[in-house]
Amino acid sequence: MRRILVAGNWKLNGSIAMTKELIGGILAGIGEVNNADVAVCPPYPYIPLAQELLAGSPVALGAQDVSDQAQGAYTGEVSAAMLKEFDCRYSIVGHSERRSLYGEDDATVARKFVAAQAGGLTPILCVGETLEERESGVTDEIIARQLDAVLDAAGIAAFRQAVIAYEPVWAIGTGRTATPEQAQAVHKFIRDRLAGHDAEVAAAVQIQYGGSVKPGNAAELFAQPDIDGGLIGGASLKVGDFLAICKAAG
């Protein structure tokens, strides 16, 4: 039975004070979250503070990105091993904002996925189509391409230690959520594609949905057979909303 995983992606938001307030609030309410595993992904500079605040708690820590390189002359990069030293369990890779605003292509994302695992992190691999792609009927094709780039580079067995997040670009930060049926259809497509390689791995991998998840729509999304939680942007910056989404797991 797959667990629900709810992860907060704070994006470029935060401060020392906000990190203390958000994590303090989450820890105060986490006792009432029964059926979800929970993680937070703050910006890099707040990771040591988050590590300290989360120590001994059931809430996991993640990064929003990771270098595709392990070490060396790569100015500005942060490696998986560095993040691991601060008890990060996860790193998001291939978020659509990284793909569209910072030019990360499928090959780069695949290298980051491999580097994250090599450094001991569980990658949260983001895939998703733009509105234009959805409207031209190529959603499956886009998702398959994004997924296959990682399958080719890492192999199906690597998905034993990975999470996938389906984030339709048109639903991110727009308030326009995919309907549970739309999301479920793509989640099933992803799982079926993995099952073409290994049915057991496909059945076990957690596939999160991301894109305007709110307390009001989380339960319906999480109830879909192939939706295993959420990657939460805006609503993860409000303690009450984030906890309500975690509790929507049941």
What residues are paired with 6 via a beta bridge? Answer: 38, 230
Tokens of 90: 């996860």
CB of 71 to ligand 13P, least distance (A): 27
Stretch that binds ligand 13P, among 16-24, 76-84, 136-144, 233-241 (CB under 6 A): 233-241
Burial (0-12, 13-18, 19+ Cβ within 10 Å), 187: buried
Catalytic residue among 133, 167, 181, 187: 167
CB of 143 to ligand 13P, least distance (A): 16
* Binder among 5, 231, 243, 246 for ligand 13P (CB under 6 A): 231
Whichever of 13 and 108 has its CB closer to ligand 13P, that residue is 13
* Binder among 14, 62, 119, 233 for ligand 13P (CB under 6 A): 233
CB of 229 to ligand 13P, least distance (A): 12
Tokens of 187: 């989640």
Q: Which residues make Cβ contacts (< 8 Å) with residue 188, sequence separation at least 6?
A: 225, 226
User: By CB under 6 A, is residue 212 in contact with ligand 13P?
Assistant: yes
User: By CB under 6 A, is residue 206 in contact with ligand 13P?
Assistant: no
User: By CB under 6 A, is residue 167 in contact with ligand 13P?
Assistant: yes
Binding mask 104-133 for ligand 13P (x = CB under 6 A): ------------------------------
> How many residues sit in the footprint of ligand 13P (CB under 6 A)?
14
Kindly compute the dihedral angle of the four CA atoms of residues 29, 34, 39, 42, in this order, to the nearest 10 degrees.
Answer: -20
Query: Contact 79/114 with Cβ under 8 angstroms?
Result: no
Q: Which residues make Cβ contacts (< 8 Å) with residue 167, sequence separation at least 6?
A: 95, 96, 126, 127, 128, 209, 210, 211, 231
3-state secondary structure of 133: helix
Strands, E, within the chain: which ranges?
Answer: 4-9, 36-41, 60-63, 88-93, 122-127, 163-166, 206-210, 229-232
State the first-to-last Cα distance of the chain, in angstroms, to the nearest integer: 14
Q: Is 187 a catalytic residue?
A: no
User: By CB under 6 A, is residue 211 in contact with ligand 13P?
Assistant: yes
Site for ligand 13P in 44-63 (CB under 6 A): none
Catalytic residue among 95, 97, 129, 187: 95
CB of 66 to ligand 13P, least distance (A): 15
Q: Is 167 a catalytic residue?
A: yes
Whichever of 119 and 168 has its CB closer to ligand 13P, that residue is 168
CB of 171 to ligand 13P, least distance (A): 6
User: Within 10 A of 44 (CB to CB), how many other CB atoms are there?
Assistant: 13
The CA-CA-CA angle for residues 232, 242, 46, to 5°, reads: 75
Whichever of 153 and 237 has its CB closer to ligand 13P, that residue is 237
Binding residues for ligand 13P, rule: CB under 6 A, are 9, 95, 167, 172-173, 210-213, 231-235
